Structure 1
Amino acid sequence: MYVVSHQQEIQNFPLTQGENNANIPQIELEKLQSIITADGQIMIQEMSITIYKKADPTAVERYYIQHQEGDRQNLAINLDGLVRTYLQTKTKAYIESHQPQIGQEVRDYIKSFRAGGEPIMDNEGHIAGFKGGISLEEEWGVDIADVTPRRLTLPSTVAGAQVEAQQIIKAAQTQYDSAQNEADRRESKLRSMEKLSEAVGSNNDAANYLTSQILNDLLEQTPSKNIGRITVLNGLSGSDQAIISRQGVLLGK
């Protein structure tokens, strides 16, 4: 919180700021600054809160007499807690899409909150106000003049994790697409072979040619030099089985 004039002060939200905590590691600073939204998202919403110290005798007594100088940091702590509480009742999408008016909503919530009061709930289960108790403004003799949203960001650790996750998803998608394309190619070739086999019928020369093409395709996909004993329909040699050498077949031997 910093003084604008003898009657006006500005408080930053989150209360913990980097310039005042230069020795805190970035990840620890972001833990203190982050909020968890109603839908479980992590984000940092920066705001400025303008506090006007009233000049009437009752307000002056409450601020300067009832609260000693060492206690005045509690006003900033209480404001930080109220802003955080309100924001955490909203989803990330709501906060992002309502930036122009979210400051006014937070201000209204702070002004309506009453410590020791009984919450008044609306039909949707949200807090609509408080009955009894004392407001923060009454307790401190101040007026919450304005709440202005400034910047909405993701913690750097979260942003980094999202980038890494997208890279993993992209790599997995590429592998899946490649496997799917290969499966489609094999299925298409099988269908072509089936149609060709139907067309060949009882023609022995055509059948022998088709058999050699199937074997050649099989051998092209076989990593070893010799694939062993294979039963060959219609026979490529005198017997119904032949030792097929990958190298020999590919060279036309």
Structure 2
Amino acid sequence: MTVSATPLQGIVTTVDAAPAPPGWPVLEAPPQSGLYLHWDGWALALCRATPPRMRLVLDPAATSLGRRGRQASVGNEHIARACGLRGGGTPRIVDATAGAGRDAGLLAGLGAQVTMVERSPVVAALLADALRRAGSAPATAPVAARLALVSGEASAYLGDHVADIVYLDPMYHTGRRKALAGKEMQLLQALLGPDADADTLLDAARGAASQRVVVKRHRHAPPLAGRRPHHSLTGRSTRFDVYLPAG
């Protein structure tokens, strides 16, 4: 990995065996600016050095324990309905743009078997650490057991694998301030920027899915790759576009 390719400066750690990509620069102290990783022996965090300072620890499995997760059901969640979840079923879902993993965690909490694919080695390291912690905690271990992680390019993974459902949530700028409101979104956008090649994933996703492809969009955003979906479910701020498999 080339450090200069991202705004991430390195990892600050005083504990051996930090769960970061091999060869990542180790810093003796936080940098003066930019983003950096911090390993404290318990969790790996993405941090911002300049104000407003932020610290982000991913925990997708814990989504099922929060208020939304406790109230979620396959009937009242648009994402579950878009994915065609049914009570008692365990569909195989590939979340090809995993990011913070919150949607994957919610789907796993509702019973799906979810493989998260993440091409950023930094975000993949954060997710791997999250799954390690979740797997060792009794409250989140059942959800963690339904989550798997692949570090790599989604297009390559989809070309070699099949799934019942492929889920896409590409990062993009809408021009609306609300899109930057969340801490997770702010730090991940600063690290990764928009998914400039997200349009090319749609064909790969439709080729890998046996049932459907679900694309999460802002309510007013154009459809991915300009392709009209077969149908959509629209909430107050989010829309889920559903595409049938290719062929």
**Shorter-chain TM-score: what band?**
under 0.3
The structure with the larger Rg is: 1
TM-score relative to the length of structure 1 = 0.19
Larger helix proportion of the pair:
1
TM-score relative to the length of structure 2 = 0.19
